[in-house]
Structure formats: C-alpha cells, structure tokens
C-alpha cells in the first residue's frame, strides 16, 4: 500500500519510558476518585526540516493505522517520535507486584502493548520495559503478535497479567509484549526515544482488537464495575513554554463524567455502526471554514473516527482543498504531501458538526500545526489522506482539545461538551 512506498522517516519509536514522578502532582489538581491525570510531551523547538519530517511521519503513521496492510495477530501501532508533543499518556500498572508503565491513550486502536525486556534494539534502549520474570502472575499465551511498519516489523508475544488502570483492576488482561523493534534511523535527532511512554492503551472496541481480546474498559463495563458505561477525556492544549520534558495533559475519567471539566449539556451522537462497533466513528455532517459551509461530498453524513492517538485531522483531499480555498493565500505544501500552508497571520475559524447539528469550533491555535519563524506560512492541522472508504475522516487531538469527550458503551455513542474554565485553564 501507499505507506510502503515511503522512505523510512526517522521514527519508529513507539514506546518510551518513564518514571512515575510526572504523576505525583495530580492529587493537588483535585481529581475525582475515578480519574487519572494525563501528561504529554512539551512542544519542542524544531527546525523546518524536522517539522516537515514529523508532519510527513504523522500522516504516514495514520495512513498505516487506517489503510495499511493488516495480517492476523497484527496491529497498526501508533508511533511516537521524540519530538511528538501531542501523545497523551497515563500510568497503568502491570503484573504482581504491580509496576507502573506510561501508555499512550489511543481511542483509535483496541489493544494494549508494552515494550518487553527481550527488546534489545536501540529503539528500546531507554524504555521502561515489561519483564515477565518480575511478575508472579504473568502467563505467556504462546501466541505471537506482529506489527507492520512502513519498512519493518515490531513483533512479540501475547501474555496475560494483572492490569490496574486508576483504581480498577483486571486480573487477567491479555496484552502484547513487544520484543523486537526495528532499528531507528541513524538520525540522532530522532533515533533516541525519550521517556515517557512504554506502550499503547487502546480504547476502541473489542471487534477492532487484533489480539482478539476484550479491552480492559469493556471488561469493566460488562462486569458492572462502573456506575456509568462511559470513559471521559479532556485533552489539554500544550502551553508551549514549559521547560520540562512533559507537562499535564488533561484528565481521563473512568465510569463517570468529571463535571468540573465541562459546562452545559453533553451532546451525544450514536456511532455510525452500533452493532458490534469497532471504532468511535461518528456521522460528520457539516464543516464551516472561515464562516463558509464546505461541502463534505455527501448529502447526509460521512464517517469520522474520533482518535486521541492521532495528532491532526485527516480527510478526503477534495474537502481539504475546499477548506483551504476559504483561506486566502493558502497553497499545498510542496514539502509535505497532503498538507497545506496558509499565511500565519490568518486566524482560521473551523466549526464541525455531527448528525445532531451542534457546532464545535476549533481554536485557531490548534489549526496552526507548525509555525516556522523564518516563514510567513504556517502548516494547517487539516490534511488530506487517502484512506479506505470506511474511515474517510480521522479527528485527532487538534479537534479533541476543543471539547470534553465522552465515549459511551450503550447506546454506542460519543458525546461532546463545552470545556469549563477549569479545563481551559489546564490547557495552558
């Protein structure tokens, strides 16, 4: 597929390591009992070349995630490079005694994977790795998993062990223990993966789990451990000026809403597929760009995946072009396929609505994906991507930072609400 043709970009590193110290602060933020603090990496200063490479890579990773070849027991793992500032991660515990690993919360996949002790490649060197021998409760399921990348594979075994997420514990959660990572590029800017994540926690549905395992959240719903069958997410916007490597990234609440993080009602839309859903896919109805309606190419609605593991927003090239046509001075980015440039002094106003018609504005700051100081052009966070018809739109963090998101098991739906002042203050 398309992804295979790309030259390897620097990246490959998925999983970074961490100590728990980033997370010792949350109690002072008045967290609800069912909530976990998220963190994310601080926006890093980058050269234009690095920004271009990262933008290319992000699109490649999304294309691979949604359109790449899938083999049995394989998953398209989201990949985070050192300069990623928009991966949202939280600590979970695995094993007995429980050891903490930071994992990326990814509503666009449904498996749990962590780097394993057996991984000795350079890409794994700095990661906090899972060592089956350190856990009294680990069971090796003797089943392989393989994750294909643009140019190589990540492989490992499936195991089962005790998983704790916040105050909830699952005794026998199947997850992937990755033992083989491709070597990273030789580019020192990208080859070294820093803390903090060690893996991915997929928050999509069992029907999408390549490990064929019930995701922890569905298990908690089905075993009636939650008052409400919901997961709620506030993804904070990076302050952009922290000296630290990571900063608070919002809040993940299990089995409840955090009523301090939104105002007004939560507006739910049913998923496009409600029988055996795979992803959190909503019927996208309208896009307004600079106050003008943009045709989505559909008379009714068009599927859009809500994906916290994707940084930007990707959609069909004709609609993306129509959006930029409302922004004077915009043009396709000659350096990064699928992306567009626009004059940085334009404040771009985009509003999105799903089937119920409620409009959700996207902050102009989130539309501005990259600003190169030496240039008057900025790269927009909406980019074109050829995907399969099943997933024409992917709404990543650039959208999700603007809403309080509630993922509801029954009826299968996603709700959005307006962020509260408190949530916005946490957005930096």
Ligand X SMILES: *[C@@H]1O[C@H](CO)[C@@H](O)[C@H](O)[C@H]1NC(C)=O
Phi, psi of 172 (to 5 degrees): -140, 70
Place of tokens 């990540």: 154
**Does 333 qualify as catalytic in the annotation?**
no
Binding residues for ligand X, per CB under 6 A? 141, 160, 172, 174, 237, 270, 274, 363, 365, 411, 427-428
**Does 161 qualify as catalytic in the annotation?**
no
Closest approach of ligand X to the CB of residue 42, in Å = 14
In the complex with ligand X, the residue whose CB is nearer, 14 or 94, is 94
Q: Which residues contact 395 (CB under 8 A, 6 or more apart)?
A: 304, 305, 306, 307, 310, 313, 352
Give me the torsion for CA of 118, 209, 14, 413, rounded to 10°: -150
How far apart are alpha carbons 373 and 370 in whole angstroms? 10
In the complex with ligand X, the residue whose CB is nearer, 270 or 353, is 270
In the complex with ligand X, the residue whose CB is nearer, 65 or 93, is 93
In the complex with ligand X, the residue whose CB is nearer, 296 or 402, is 402
In the complex with ligand X, the residue whose CB is nearer, 211 or 253, is 211
How far apart are alpha carbons 183 and 195 in whole angstroms? 18
Tokens for 6?
């790309």
Closest approach of ligand X to the CB of residue 189, in Å = 27
- C-alpha atoms less than 13 angstroms from C-alpha of 179 in its C-beta half-sphere: 10
Closest approach of ligand X to the CB of residue 96, in Å = 13
Q: What is the pairing mode between strands 153-165 and 139-148?
A: antiparallel
Q: Which residues contact 8 (CB under 8 A, 6 or more apart)?
A: 150, 151, 152, 185
Closest approach of ligand X to the CB of residue 160, in Å = 4
Closest approach of ligand X to the CB of residue 290, in Å = 16
In the complex with ligand X, the residue whose CB is nearer, 41 or 237, is 237
Give me the torsion for CA of 163, 164, 169, 175, rounded to 10°: -20
CA distances from 383 to 203, 215, 324, 327, 422 (A): 24, 30, 10, 14, 31
Closest approach of ligand X to the CB of residue 146, in Å = 18
157-173 burial, b at 16+ Cβ within 10 Å, e below that, comes to bbbbbbbbbbebebeeb
Q: Residues 84, 106, 161, 258: which is the catalytic one?
A: 106
CA 205 and chain centroid, separation: 15
In the complex with ligand X, the residue whose CB is nearer, 83 or 269, is 269
Q: Residues 111, 161, 307, 391: which is the catalytic one?
A: 307
Closest approach of ligand X to the CB of residue 297, in Å = 23
How far apart are alpha carbons 256 and 239 in whole angstroms? 27
Closest approach of ligand X to the CB of residue 407, in Å = 15
In the complex with ligand X, the residue whose CB is nearer, 149 or 367, is 367
Give me the torsion for CA of 148, 318, 311, 255, rounded to 10°: -90
Catalytic residues: 106, 307
């Amino acid at each position: 597929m398309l992804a295979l043709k790309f030259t390897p970009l620097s990246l490959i590193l998925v999983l970074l390591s961490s100590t728990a110290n980033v997370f010792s602060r949350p109690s002072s933020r008045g967290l609800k009992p069912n909530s976990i603090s998220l963190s994310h990496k601080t926006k890093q200063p980058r050269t234009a070349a690095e920004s271009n490479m990262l933008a290319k890579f992000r699109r490649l990773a999304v294309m691979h995630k949604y359109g790449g070849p899938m083999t049995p027991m394989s998953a398209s793992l989201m990949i985070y490079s050192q300069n990623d500032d928009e991966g949202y991660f939280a600590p979970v515990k695995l094993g007995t005694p429980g050891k903490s690993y930071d994992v990326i919360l990814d509503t666009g996949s449904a498996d749990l994977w962590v780097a394993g002790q057996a991984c000795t490649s350079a890409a794994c060197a700095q990661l906090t790795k899972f060592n089956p021998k350190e856990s009294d409760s680990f069971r090796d399921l003797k089943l392989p998993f393989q994750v294909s990348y643009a140019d190589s594979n990540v492989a490992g075994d499936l195991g089962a062990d005790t998983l704790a997420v916040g105050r909830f514990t699952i005794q026998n959660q199947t997850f992937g223990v990755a033992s083989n990572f491709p070597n990273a590029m030789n580019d020192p800017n990208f080859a070294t993966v820093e803390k903090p994540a060690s893996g991915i926690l997929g928050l999509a549905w069992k029907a999408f789990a390549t490990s064929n395992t019930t995701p922890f959240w569905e298990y908690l719903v089905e075993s009636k451990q939650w008052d409400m069958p919901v997961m709620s997410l506030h993804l904070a916007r990076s302050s952009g000026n922290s000296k630290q490597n990571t900063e608070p990234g919002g809040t993940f609440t299990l089995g409840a809403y955090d009523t301090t993080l939104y105002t007004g009602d939560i507006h739910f839309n049913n998923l496009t597929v409600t029988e055996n859903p795979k992803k959190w896919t909503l019927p996208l109805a309208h896009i307004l760009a600079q106050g003008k309606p943009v045709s989505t190419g559909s008379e009714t609605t068009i599927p859009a995946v809500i994906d916290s593991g994707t940084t930007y927003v990707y959609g069909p090239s004709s609609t993306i072009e129509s959006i930029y046509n409302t922004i004077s001075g915009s043009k396709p980015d000659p350096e990064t396929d699928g992306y567009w440039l626009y004059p940085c002094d334009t404040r771009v106003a985009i509003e999105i609505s799903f089937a119920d018609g409620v409009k959700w504005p996207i902050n102009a700051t989130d539309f501005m994906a990259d600003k190169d100081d030496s240039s008057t052009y900025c790269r927009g966070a909406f980019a074109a991507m050829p995907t399969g018809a099943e997933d024409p739109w992917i709404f990543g963090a650039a959208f999700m930072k603007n809403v309080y998101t509630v993922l509801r098991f029954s009826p299968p739906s996603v709700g959005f609400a307006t962020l509260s002042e408190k949530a916005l203050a946490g957005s930096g």
